[in-house]
Amino acid sequence: MRHLRREDGQTLVLTVLCLVVLLGIAALALDIGSAYVAQRRLQASADAAALAGATALPNPDAATTRANQYGSGGSNTPRGVDGVQMTVTTRCVKAAPGCSPANAIVVKESGSVQTTFGRLLGFSQLTVHATATACSPCGTRPLDIILVLDRTGSMCTDSSGAPDPTCADMTNARNGMKTFLLAMNPQLDHVGLAVLPPASSISNRCARPASSNYNSTSSPYVIVPLSNDYRLSTGQLNTSSDLVSTINCVQANGSTAYATAIDKAQAELDASGRPGVQKVIVFLSDGAANSAPSYYPTSSPYRVTPCHQGGTSAQAATAAGTKVFSIGYDLEHDVCKNANTGGNEAPAITAEQALRAIASTSSDFYNQPDAAQLNSIYASIAADLLAGTSQLVDDDAP
C-alpha cells in the first residue's frame, strides 16, 4: 500500500506534458513569425505594384498593365510565398483630386506559406494577404496658379467671324477652367483669375469689357486673387466662391493685348504667392494680339510688337521660376498686328507662333483647333502639373 501511494513519478509526467505544450507553442510561434515576414514581403510587392500602376493613371488599362509588371510575377515577386495571386482594379477616391475616369489603383495579393512545425498540429500552410491603394494625381505638391482668360469679342463669334449669341467659345472656356479646378486640391493649390481686356473695376468684373479699359492704369487684370475656396469638402465646385462665380459670369468683348495680362498675373504670383511654392500661369487666347494700353509710348514693344512682347513677358515669368502653359484656342491663321498702325508686326508673327513663344517649353503649348475639346486640354495641363505625385493612401478611403 505504501508503494501504491507514492507520487514522485507524477511530477515527471506533468513536466513532460508541459514541455510538449511549450514546444508546440514555440513551434507555432516560429511558423507565425515566418508567415509575418512573408506577409510583409507580399505587402511590399503590392505597394510597389500600386505605386507603379498609379503613375499611368488616369488611363486604367495602362495603369493595370504597369501594376502587373511590378507586382508578383513581375519584378517584385516575394520570396517565401507560394501560389501568389494578384488582382488589380482602378477606382475613384475622394482623398485625391479629380477623377477622369480613375484616380486610384488597388492591388490585392494573396499566397500561402508552408509551415514546419504546424504540420504536427494538423495544418501544413498559412494564407497571407496584402492590399495596397495608390492615387495619382494626389496633389501632394502645392501650387500657386493664375488662369489667364482671353475674353475678347471673338470669344462670342463663330468660325466664320459672325456673332454667336450663345457665346459657345466662352462656354467651352468656362467649362475647361472648371474642369481644371476639379483636378486641383484646395488644401494645397491656390488659384486666381486674370482676364484680358481688364475690368473697369473689381466690382464690374462681370460686365462686358471695353477695349478702352486697357488705357487706364487702374483697370484690374487680376479680377480674382489667389484663393483656395473653389471646392467643397464633397469634391464639387463651390459656386459661391469668387473664383467659380466669376468664371461663370465673365463676358466677352473688346480687342486683344497679351503682354500686360501676363505681367499682372506674374505680379500677383510674386505678391501673394507662397514662398517655396511652384508658381504657374495657364494662358488661353483665341487670336492674335492687335492692341495695347495707350499709356505705353508709341515706340514701346507693347504697342509696336504686342505679340512678340507677350512672348518676352512670358519668358521673364519663366526666368523667375514660373511654369507657363499656353492654349491656342481656335486660332486659325490670325496674324499679329502693330497696335499703332494696324499693319502686321515686323518681323511677322502668327497667333500660333506667339502662343508657342509664351509657353515655357514646347511641350507646354497646346494648340486646339477644335474649340469643343477645351476640357481635355485643361485636364491634360492639370495632369502635367500633378504628374509624379502618386502615393499610397488608406485603402478604406471612400
What does the alpha-carbon distance between residue 196 and residue 199 come to, in Å, rounded to a whole number?
8
**Chain Cα centroid distance, residue 164:** 33
Q: Which cell goes with 200?
A: 473697369
| Cell 509588371, residue located | 69
Which range, of 53-67, 92-106, 355-369, averages the lowest pLDDT?
A: 92-106
Provide the greatest CA pair distance for the chain.
Answer: 134
- Residue (of 218, 219, 229) closest to 192 by Cα position: 229
Strand 104-114 to strand 391-393: parallel, antiparallel, or no bridges (unpaired)?
A: unpaired
Specify whether the CB–CB gap between 199 and 213 falls below 8 A.
Answer: yes
pLDDT for residue 74 is more than 80:
no
Contacts by 85-91, CB closer than 8 A, 24 or more apart:
85/109, 85/110, 85/111, 86/46, 86/49, 88/49, 88/53, 88/63, 88/64, 90/57, 90/60, 90/63, 90/64
Q: How many Cα atoms within 13 Å fall on the side-chain side of residue 45?
A: 31
Specify whether the CB–CB gap between 231 and 382 falls below 8 A.
Answer: no
User: What is the end-to-end Cα distance of the chain in Å, rounded?
Assistant: 77
What are the residue ranges of helices labelled H in 161-250? 168-183, 242-249
Model pLDDT for residues 255-304, shown as the tens digit of each residue: 999 999 999 999 999 999 999 999 999 999 998 999 999 999 999 999 99
Q: Does 356 or 136 have the greater pLDDT score?
A: 356
Q: What is the dihedral of CA 90, 93, 95, 97, to 10 degrees?
A: 80
What does the alpha-carbon distance between residue 339 and residue 304 come to, in Å, rounded to a whole number?
6
- The reported pLDDT for the residue numbered 1 is 47
What does the alpha-carbon distance between residue 352 and residue 23 come to, in Å, rounded to a whole number?
80
With 0-12 / 13-18 / 19 or more C-beta atoms within 10 angstroms meaning exposed / middle / buried, residue 313 is: buried
Specify whether the CB–CB gap between 19 and 109 falls below 8 A.
Answer: no
Which range, of 142-151, 284-293, 361-370, averages the lowest pLDDT?
A: 361-370
- Residue (of 224, 221, 174, 173) closest to 199 by Cα position: 221
Enumerate residues 6+ apart whose C-beta is below 8 A from 274.
142, 144, 190
Q: What does residue 209 show for φ and ψ, rounded to 5 degrees? A: -75, 155
- The reported pLDDT for the residue numbered 181 is 93
Specify whether the CB–CB gap between 49 and 86 falls below 8 A.
Answer: yes
Model pLDDT for residues 188-233, shown as the tens digit of each residue: 899 999 999 999 999 999 999 999 999 999 999 999 999 999 998 8
Enumerate residues 6+ apart whose C-beta is below 8 A from 6.
none
- The reported pLDDT for the residue numbered 160 is 73
Q: Is the pTM of this model over 0.75?
A: no
Specify whether the CB–CB gap between 106 and 50 falls below 8 A.
Answer: yes
Helix axes 306-319, 259-272, angle to 10 degrees: 20
Q: Which domains does the chain possess?
A: 18-135 (no CATH), 143-388 (3.40.50.410)
